[in-house]
Structure 1
Amino acid sequence: MNATDRTPADLLASALAADPGRPLVTFYDDATGERVELSVATFANWVAKTANLLQDELAVEPGDRVALLLPAHWQTAVWLLACASVGVVADVDGDPAAADVAVSGPDALETARACPGARIALALRPLGGRFPQPPEGFADYAVEVPGQGDRFAPYVPVDPEAPALIMAGREFTGAEVVQRARAEATELGLTGPASRILSGLPYDTWEGLRAGLYGPLATGGSVVLCRNLGRLGGDALDKRVESERVTVIAR
């Protein structure tokens, strides 16, 4: 990654320029058997579409707050980078009543209804599938995002020193996210593009976000993000580590 990168969106742009075809996020849900692999280019395309949805359809502006009521999932990673691309604050497991937009998985819909602004629901089904019946009061992400543009440019340049992430009530700027991810990479065992970390940590702590997204992104590595990893037996985990060429495990 480039030393001049100041925001998570910058990190993604550098990854795209360096090697768009390499894997970035490989996602497993061990409750459903789902596996999805996203290259840097595919992930960046989802981010661009989601950022366009935020900026053009939902009319959010830099400094607005988006409550992300989502588990560790590849689509959650997309939303985190889309928020960073627009310059809005991603409030992980934040209070939807204090947010401009609430983005919810199927398990948090009732909580998300407290948001006075727009509400987006993610079915979190395999291959980004839509809800069989859209939840009342919500737009279905899988319906709204495909028609968005494949390229994104913010109307206002993102300020690296502006708030970008709220985690457990603590606020981080975009620059702080990048700096911490880089500084803690060695602690995680991430040393560069050859590093591939398997993370079974949830996204509701800095440790989970660092291992499951920001650390690999900051070092040019990749992540095998596993939801419901506790359902996987020891032999199966060993096989996954081998087949996915994992170099580091965080769980």
Structure 2
Amino acid sequence: MSETLSIDVVSDVVCPWCFLGQKRLQHAIESLKDVSVEVRWRPFQLDPTIPAEGKDRKAYMQAKFGDGDRLKQIHANLVSLGAVEGISFDFDAIKVAPNTLDAHRVIRWAGTAGIAVQNNLVARLFSAYFEHGENTGDPHVLIEAAREAGMDVSIVETLLPTDADAEAVRAEIATASRMGITGVPCFLIEGRYAVMGAQDTDTLADAIRQVAEAKARGELEKAV
């Protein structure tokens, strides 16, 4: 199967299930030695109403889940699932619930620098937030992540203080909503086959292989 398969991942960088999904997709692709895959990242905001400066995460999460054991159970489950994928979730280290619009703008710009750069940036932003408690709404954090991902930092430093591409990102999110995407992660294979949620590695690998084999046979449905 020599043709390259495209996968667009609709996600938010403050979604722990999206971090799990990123790792599982990576592992699925690594297991498919004969399938070439290009992964691109598309924006989604779990809560676009968070102000630009962010909110206190503890208070924010308590308002959503209450003061009981529910949030502790969710975190414990994610820590356990993350360990399997090589993720060291540290929820106690996270102090700020950020607005993710700026992060998605930088991810968009990373895409123009190449697929590998964009994937590298997304992985770094997930790790910065969930494993190190960094505020991914902070311009300094975003610029440093861009630098580590191999981007031209001068471009990010110039564009980030402006509104460049803010409306383009919002428009992409609106498009995802019109497509019926209400939760993330969502994996769009070849732009038309959707796999919803942080499915396990084997499920993702099986879906990718099925679409790749259908594409090799010329049997993919025409895009609507």
Q: Do they superpose with TM above 0.5?
A: no
Normalising by the residue count of structure 1, what TM-score does the alignment of the two structures yield? 0.29
User: Which structure has more RCO (C-alpha within 8 Å, separation ≥ 6)?
Assistant: 2
Normalising by the residue count of structure 2, what TM-score does the alignment of the two structures yield? 0.31
Between Structure 1 and Structure 2, the one with more helix by share is 2
